[in-house]
Copies of this chain bind each other. A is one copy, B any other.
């Protein structure tokens, strides 16, 4: 078996899909400024009103035939992610486009690039974790605070905080529609082939639990214009990604 980094296989950087995800999110919803956001979103997607989302999360992920890797190679099944997403439209179709998504492992970086996410590698992503048996921590309740940050080189690329007010349901979380992306594999010479295609990520099996709602705040080095926070949320989510479909 060839050990090629971007060819799914047993010794490669990426397991064959579909890929399954279970994630714990700390999310802040906010309005950015449309002119700034337009610089972050490529054609054929259109910025839709300025609504955005930022989050940090921890993800347990396995390939469809590789669930046993949680035990044999746990480093290949757990990562942290931080991202900023912008509400967009593709024609009439509403969705979210992530101008940048930082992750902590090689395989989530490369898998994401293949699916059209603008992934970058973080040096460190850290976020609030509670533990029900820790004698010094209270259960999640109104007033609980959750925070997280992403550091890369000399920069803190994103930090955010959520103050919980009340439990909620999946229906309370803002919905953006489809997840859009851009698959890009540029040339370094005129003789080479290239890929540059807008895509829609193929997501299924979505489920959400443990929703808490509240207020949020954030700072990011990404130029989204002035940030006007809308709300914050903490929740768990699961889903499957089978790949992404090129948009014509």
Contact = CB atoms under 8 A, between A and B. Distances in A.
A145 B115 contact: no
A131 B210 CA distance: 13
Interface string A184-201: 111111011111010100
A118 to B, nearest CB: 5
B192 A185 contact: no
Contacts of A147: 70-72, 74
Interface in A110-149: 113-115, 118-121, 123-124, 126-138, 145-149
Interface string A1-28: 1111111100001000101111110000
Contacts of A192: 183, 195, 197, 199, 243-246
B148 A151 contact: no
Contacts of A191: 245-246
A187 B244 CA distance: 9
Interface residues of A, number: 106
A161 interface: yes
A67 interface: yes
Contacts of A74: 126-129, 147-149
A122 B202 CA distance: 30
A237 to B, nearest CB: 6
9 closest residue pairs by CB, A with B: A22-B131, A133-B238, A20-B136, A22-B134, A188-B243, A185-B185, A71-B145, A106-B121, A189-B243
